[in-house]
Structure 1
């Protein structure tokens, strides 16, 4: 039963945080909640730290880096914190004083250490710490609603010691994300106060937003557990954009989606099943304007209210078979499927691997996904040409920490080793550790196809190049004419490596993939192609609600066309794409 008055707004706390993966509807729900609180006479400040923030678009007015009253909603003001601008200012604060004093190579290394997602998260948190902890700035507001909350990753960073130990100086240490911590210039008691407020259930409620999809719910459960471990226990689950029951004579795709969502609701992961939850129905169009925001949190209108006029579909959409036809022309190569969590990387990687194996190519399919989604996707698929493996991030990280302690830590005193040990708890340590395992797979791509689900980001590659010295030392010692090829050089070789970015046909996932493409460009890597997954525009649905949503994908597909050298679009499927039959629905077989 849909709630007409969402439970997460009942007895609302002063701080309300909305978090979840890109494209689940955090911004719409945050804006709607802020409007709902203001309409009952509360004074509300809406704060967005979303890198693809569209708060201004939602309200139809300019909202920038200054607190701005929202027209037509008494008592509501908003501010958008630009994460990239915050990160740039943060970097300059650290690098500016030493520019001209240190060699260019040192400046470049420091800049790259401060160019990853860790820096962006910490810089954004640095920006809104005042809004969270300083009552002299926000005391006039009854409620502060945050669109995109700090993740457990960010909070663990801020709980680290903050000492920039000497073992990292001049590239002597190993890569971690402690770089961002070097510039934390606020008193640590200020951060402690902010984190204490986040963890105080009397002050803060965190709203975890997800879709009723297996992969999205697995991701949400992981986030819920991570936040609980850092003390944020007052959580509420919102399952957004649920498809209303189309009835037994409804469009087959709509019936299948409704049944699949119902099955997900009946089998929620334990971490989510324990949370209070609210269900929100899908709307036929983007949530724009105060009127739409008012309606979002009320009982869903009857399906008959959805427009029966089907919008024109986008122009011809290429399928995955076009990409595979080009890949199969070679007899070896490295294929990296990259993208944010929940976009279907495992499915796309498995479909490509199975298609190549069925063409008689020798294929090694591997994953670094901690959820081991490949097992579910392959569902026992067997092929003599297909080898499947998994890099265990936890085991790789443990081995990496032990090695660093045994080598870099050997020359440190007890206090230094203690700091090093805690520094190695940094979340980015896992990314670096996994790369060590990943690099062993890269060399196999010279003899066969290697398809990897989840690959290192451009930031990780450059951080390793800057501080690990492996790439530079080999090139310097052996010389460029010796024919040596390091892992980074192989990843930069378009004849060997094909990076495939996977996204969804929605604003935030496309923006996140665009940011990832820019990140890879810094490492000299250009994505070979893009895959837009779970597209309604690529289906033949006649359901009015789904057809309206399909039409809304057009601007996002056009944006991907501008960014992508090659594009494939995978339709939203009626049946889960698992096993050989399911994967064949992702990549159509030749007739």
Structure 2
């Protein structure tokens, strides 16, 4: 790790690419080299405790098995709740309970959580607190561009009540921030200082992951944070050259590595191989930067015996169940980023249409990958309609409307703050809400299959629906006869939520967390769909792939026994044209 010379290291990238493993491995490597290291996570689904095999919570604690490594997990939800309390506490006895409740609701979105998380971790960069004790501080996840841009606006720090009476729905009163304006500017200046801070963009050798890495790199550069390195994780190299599946996986990965987006080609690049073992514990973390240790552990973990084939109902059987007793309904695929929600939604829609049902396939995902899959088919079934709720168009309309209303009589700085506030993911979800409502209405006449955005956006969408529901019920004297979108989502006969996960521990836990959030809103998922399962395939001879397949068994067992009422699976498909392969009639046979 001699290439690392800065005090602050940030690891960022799309979900499921291995940020935490690489951040932890880097921390262990630097501690072994004699540095006193602090590892900080602001991931709400952090698995630092599992990866380090050591107790990690919201207090700085030493990591077992190392001499100079310490870790802390900042829970963003707890930070956001403390932030809301600091905002509303001074108002108690002054404002009414209803007004305080509304302020808390306004500060319940993801943007508030971003601000509160930034507020917490900034103290480690500012040098005013515990950060001075450490030679190196490594952050598993970086602050978003929206957070940094928002706090950079002069109006964000103006008097909340006097100069910015409308307020900012994401930010709230800056008096509730622990970090003052001076500390914030100190932190941002250090993030921009290439001699102090490095950004490690982590990706996989696949198109979607590299596209996200490219976007992240550009956003950081726009913010003046140009000291970037690219880590590509999980690169597969076949061991058994006679295994056709292994050959295909390696060839597709190599093709992606050879077509890295142009802006990433200028970054220092390091690749890490796909391993036959989960990187858990200090020894295995050390192996990521030690090829001899890696080889030793791999030889002990490579599975040379036969694997047990995992029997799961296929996506065609899921479609049979969804259409068994009705000819209409809303079907939503949900899950963390990168698990395959879009391919699942596309396949469900096409298979329903092939049965002769009227089907609308739509997406609220800003990345809009649906069209990429649909174009692989060539000819579409006559009963299938594909459309996209364009977030940019909807957001532009909404932004113009809000600016016209809130900007009247405001200073230019206040207008800038309102405009920046409206650039948040929250605004995008509000903007697409009416189109979302329309889709639900159509689901009473035909099948509507909706590919939703990644987990955080999805929850915001549902929270928006819930807020709309509460307003309607509170303000309408005929509310008893109304049926809001939120009520439709709770109706299990009309709406079916499909949770998509990979057969890996972290995606499983994140889908489980999403399921719990949905249940708190009285929305019960219909089924889990496990994507890219090697253990559903027979005929694998490559030892590395066999080991990976074997590791899936326990995860799938946990999903079936602890999480899902119904479980379905999609086998791993090594094809560039995934959708035609997935809807093939031989779905549950060996696909190579």
TM-score (norm 1): 0.88
- Aligned-partner Cα distance in 2 for 1:103–1:560: 45
Match of 1:235 among 212, 219, 228: 228
Q: How does 1:20-39 map to 2 (within 5 A)?
A: 20-39=13-32
| 1:130-145 equivalence runs, <5 A | 130-145=123-138
Q: What secondary structure sits across from 1:12 in the alignment?
A: coil
Please point out which of 306, 323, 329 is paired with 2:318.
Answer: 323
Q: Structure 1 residue 338: deviation in Å?
A: 1.9
Q: Judge conservation of contact 2:160–2:173 (CA < 8 Å) in 1.
A: no
- Over 3 Å counting, the alpha-carbon distance change for 1:143 and 1:432 in structure 2 is same
1:570 correspondence with 2:570: yes
**Alignment map for 1:488-567 (pairs within 5 Å):** 488-540=486-538, 541-561=540-560, 562-567=562-567
Q: 1:106 to 1:136 in 2, by over 3 A?
A: closer
Is the counterpart of residue 339 in structure 1 residue 339 in structure 2? no
| Deviation, structure 1 residue 418 | 4.3
1:502/1:406 Cα in 2 relative to 1: closer, same or farther (>3 Å)? same
CA distance in 2, matches of 1:106, 1:464: 21
Counterpart for residue 364 of structure 2: 368
Between Structure 1 and Structure 2, how many residues are aligned?
576
Residues 416 and 118 of structure 1: is their aligned pair in 2 closer, same or farther, counting only changes over 3 Å?
closer
Q: 1:295 aligns with which of 265, 287, 290?
A: 287
State the distance in 2 between where 1:66 and 1:297 align: 28
Q: Spell out the pairing of 1:196-235 with structure 2 (5 A cutoff).
A: 196-235=189-228
Displacement of 1:362 in angstroms is 0.5
Q: 1:479 to 1:165 in 2, by over 3 A?
A: farther
1:404 matched to which residue of 2?
A: 402
Distance in 1 between the 2:99 and 2:461 partners? 17
Distance of aligned partners of 1:471 and 1:120 in 2 relative to their CA distance in 1, 3 Å threshold: closer
Following TM superposition, by how much is the alpha carbon of 1:232 offset from its aligned partner in structure 2, in angstroms? 2.0
Q: Do the aligned partners of 2:465 and 2:485 also contact (CA within 8 Å) in 1?
A: no
* Distance change in 2, residues 1:371/1:422 (3 Å): closer
Which residues in structure 2 correspond to 1:461-480 (within 5 Å)? 461-463=462-464, 465-466=466-467, 472-473=471-472, 476-477=475-476, 479-480=478-479
Task: Answer whether contact 2:429 2:460 (CA < 8 A) is retained.
Answer: no
Distance 2:93 2:103 in 1: 13
Determine the structure 2 residue equivalent to 1:450.
Answer: 448
CA distance in 1 between partners of 2:136 and 2:473 (Å): 56
Partner of 1:285: 277
Give a deviation string over 1:231-282, Cα, whole Å, max 9, x none.
2221111111111233531x22221111110011011122322322101011
1:385 matched to which residue of 2?
Answer: 383
C-alpha separation in 2, matches of 1:155 and 1:477 = 40
**CA shift at 1:99, angstroms?**
5.5
- What is the match of residue 264 of structure 2? 272
2-structure distance, mates of 1:247, 1:393: 46
Change (3 A) 1:399 1:287: same
Question: SS of the residue aligned with 2:209?
Answer: helix
Quote how far apart the aligned CAs of 1:208 are: 1.1
Q: 1:414 to 1:143 in 2, by over 3 A?
A: closer
Deviations 1:45-88 (A, max 9, x none): 22222333333333333233222233443322222223333333
Which structure is richer in relative contact order (CA contacts within 8 A, separation 6 or more)? 1
**Aligned-pair Cα RMSD in Å:** 3.1
What CA distance in whole angstroms lies between the structure 2 residues aligned with 1:153 and 1:586?
Answer: 46
Tell me the SS of whatever aligns to 2:14. coil
Which 10-residue stretch deviates more, 223-232 or 441-450?
Answer: 223-232
Deviation at 1:12, TM superposition (A): 2.3
Compared with structure 1, are the counterparts of its residues 129 and 375 closer, same or farther at alpha carbon in structure 2 (3 Å cutoff)?
Answer: same
Q: What is the distance in 2 between the residues matched to 1:460 and 1:317? A: 31
What is the CA–CA distance in structure 2 between the aligned matches of 1:325 and 1:164, rounded to whole Å?
A: 59
Aligned to 1:3: none
For the residues of structure 2 that align with 1:76 and 1:549, how far apart are their CA atoms?
30
Structure-2 separation of matches of 1:415 and 1:56: 44
